[in-house]
Structure 1
């Protein structure tokens, strides 16, 4: 396996990385960003209707447009845990992942028995832990889930990981709820039809599936802010407070959710010029992504390098150094 030496973010921000900068994408004229003939890329996204899914499919289309000779496919998964394993094993080249699951993966903790080799191309946007109930539900706090039917997220998803941690923080044992492993769309339908009392999902806001649910059934989100101290004490700074405004889903009031960073992850062995090209398209073709998937959340250059504890891929580092000049 190829080993790469990674540069600290402080050095990157200071422009302290030595050596000349090589322009891998030539003049970037029109649709021809680079000559990478015969290359295929696979992107592991997430549940249908989620932001990972919407952004991942739009990004795949734009990468294929802008990178000559590159074929790009996006495929749905149950998201973070599966995506991390697929990228580490080479089944997928690029994967979306929640920061808490990615931290577990490289440390070999939580659902990962051993550390895995992963690096980041960028921090994308922050996701919010949704605990969705109907507007007239008696569930006012997480503790009220005891004895109820709850969608905990698909197996292998980051949602399921966070949901379990939140229940533990609230003092609820796993056998005190009737949990399902439904997908996001199945959970939304279950709440709509009365088969579920609540469901968890982790996503950027607004989430398309939750928005569609709110158009047929009045909903609200359960406040999770009071559990943040227990989560950070147990799992560290991967979790922060994330206010969700009323405008997101026509909510009766704003709530404090738990926020989690998101990363786009790759294997360290991904070709450096290819990683550079993908990173450049992500930031320099955002208008095209927006035309394909309007108002989808996209990475912000100011936050892109803050992927700790994952190191940045050298190809991504090169692009960020150039933008600093």
Structure 2
């Protein structure tokens, strides 16, 4: 039976292996599951590393009615970047909000339904807060959550989805998933994002593409140390905190309260990111380094340095979410601790970026 040319029911035969929570967040794992489904041998840490996943991203959000510059430690384009480097057909698509879509016969975007009919799973970016089937975790608003649509039923108006957070297949109302793509907790932008990944025509073993590893290190190193790279965002954020602190010291109650709010909420939200992801993003990149070390012939000293710097950065991120958050002191003392750990991240990743940029030269010297 067809509804406006679309079959009433579709279910894709999708085989996947449940992944440990510490191996990437929902985005990385969702991409990994689809690529593995297409026969591409790649791990979550390889996707994150090849796509230059490390970042220091600041996004201005509205949290409980207050403007808040939120810290994130990952590049949200990492998975798409990885596909580009490996020449895997992956297209990021945008969806404009349609307030009347629920009253139509299809009650969802036709392009997405047609791709599912063709037998290709679809990646949907949504807010995890609306994924009510995740009843065993505390859901907080995170509009970068990623799920895989495996099928639909137009009669019951439900999707069949795979969520890496639970590692299970669930059903969710089409209207609810549609809402989760647009009801942005951190802003009013009415644009949904989804990804169409096609099976590569010539699937090769990524592990044999040593040049791709080297390219990924060069790209990641460049994104760290270039003049407008993300390390400069850390310096800007430190300057921002210092300006607020100085105004607070001069007697501005509003600046004092705002500083306290920024510090507290960033510590909480960094921790919530780690809880949802299963680990710190720096830990994931360390796993990538360890995995690549079995394929590249580099001296032990260089590898040890790379791991040491990424561990130093990870420790500073964890200090933000634990030590700073629970420090029982004044707002100014807490701000100083916060800034000190940002400076540790800056120093460690500056060294990391320099080392990554020298890997090609090191390989040439080894030869």
**TM-score, normalised with respect to structure 1:** 0.26
Which has the bigger relative contact order, CA under 8 A and spacing at least 6?
1
Structure 1 or 2: more strand by fraction: 1
Structure with more of its chain in helix, by fraction: 2
Structure of larger gyration radius: 2
TM-score by length of 2: 0.24
